[in-house]
Amino acid sequence: MTPAARVSAAIEILADIETRRRPAADSVKDWGLTHRFAGSGDRAAISALVYDALRRKASSAWLMGDSTPRAEMLGALRHTRGLAPEAIAALFTGEGHAPEPLTEGERDRLAAASLDGAPAHVAGDYPEWLAPQFEAAFGARAADEGRALAERAPVDLRANLLKTTRDKALAALAHLDPQPTPFSPVGLRIAIRPDGRGPALAAEPAYVKGLVEVQDEGSQLAALMSEAKPGLQVLDLCAGAGGKTLALAAMMGNHGQIYATDSDGRRLTPIFDRLDRSGARTVQVRAPRGRADVLADLEGRMDLVMIDAPCTGSGAWRRNPDAKWRMRPGALEQRIKDQDEILEKATRFVKKGGRIVYVTCSVLRAENEDRVADFLARHDDFLPVDAATQARAAGLPALAERVSPFGPGVRMSPLTTGTDGFYVATLVRM
């Protein structure tokens, strides 16, 4: 396919996403199934175009004076890909499978339109209904934080210390030019190509053999902040696909016991293959079984309960840009309810002197500091751990500078730490 035909295909997919209000991944997949002439390179390039357009959906509409899929694509090509108006015009010729030629109005806007005077939610590309939440979390930096969340994310990997060291992992992947992550001592970072595409890790021997796992540096730091040590009894209450479970297992050096569970057993499906690949031998997966209490024998026994809480995922918008436009206010309300419930559930398993580590991939105070404050108001037998002291004890002194100004815990974001947006707070039972 020509570059112009790829642009046309991306506009078609954007229209499908808007009309059917469905996840971008589903629309991209369906397009590929119905256009089998498109090779893997074409599909990857089209997908990257779609996601770039979704990242800048609001600001593109402002710049182009229109909110159509075509306008979204024009804005992305100009302001995400940095193409000059002449280069964009060369893609929009109307010939063959190219999009229709640019109008005079489109040419003028591509040449001169700016975000001067745009409200923060437009300049920062986040939903208008979330503007009060962003202002509460970031104040005058709201638009800057939103822009950072709209950037492409690099590929972050975690060196699996059960099988290798970071230096050896860097050497094994040297052809991809990985760099050490700035905060995590076990992290590697691979830059995304200019066209928005990442490396094909599934074909890399280092990945296949379990030497590295895909995990954002922020998620690595959340696990490291738990200070999990060999010999502990640990419960991962929201294990999902097992990212933090595997990180905890590596920290514990296969000594102790980790119990991994999730309220939705389907989310646990990938964990089994990942455990086999990682060499982790001390993880016991406890999938839900109807009304049976599969965790009954763990009551009051845990040194550490990890809560990777269900949340809006606002901190991961770099990787899932369509999610921010599909989210509705009711989703935030439901997540707050879920977070309060999972915190209450955790208290059942923590022994005296044990800890709850509460983690979200959200940047919203309503899901982070507010939830911890409400929990502490209900439980006088729990106290927050000083996050700066904890970060230093965990060997993360630079993270001590990211203590939340709104309550216990640390805050991370693409703008301040170069990671996804994460919040981590630790509560100890007295």
- Find the angle CA(240)-CA(245)-CA(249) to the nearest 5 degrees: 165
CA distance 150 to 43: 22
CA 286 to chain centre: 25
- 386 among annotated binding-site residues: no
Q: How many Cβ atoms are within 10 Å of 67's Cβ, its own excluded? A: 14
- 125 among annotated binding-site residues: no
Catalytic residue among 7, 63, 316, 361: 361
* Tokens found for residue 392: 């230093």
* Tokens found for residue 33: 């199934």
Residue among 313, 97, 52, 89 nearest 194 (CA) = 52
CA 223 to chain centre: 15
Residue 311 annotated as catalytic = no
Q: How many Cβ atoms are within 10 Å of 136's Cβ, its own excluded? A: 15
Are residues 109 and 18 in contact, defined by beta-carbon separation less than 8 angstroms?
no
CA distance 78 to 163: 45
Phi first, then psi: give them for residue 32, nearest 5 degrees.
-65, -35
- Give the start-end residues of each E strand in 77-228: 155-159, 179-180, 187-190, 212-214
Q: How many Cβ atoms are within 10 Å of 160's Cβ, its own excluded? A: 25
Residue among 245, 270, 189, 250 nearest 359 (CA) = 245
CA distance 364 to 387: 18
- Partners of 422 in the beta sheet? 412
Q: What is the helix (H) or strand (E) element at residue 412, kind and residue range? A: strand 410-412
Strand bridging mode 410-412 / 350-360: unpaired
CA 41 to chain centre: 25
SS3 category, 132? helix
Known binding-site residue numbers = 262, 308
Known binding-site residue numbers for S-adenosyl-L-methionine = 262, 308
Give me the active site residues, please. Answer: 361
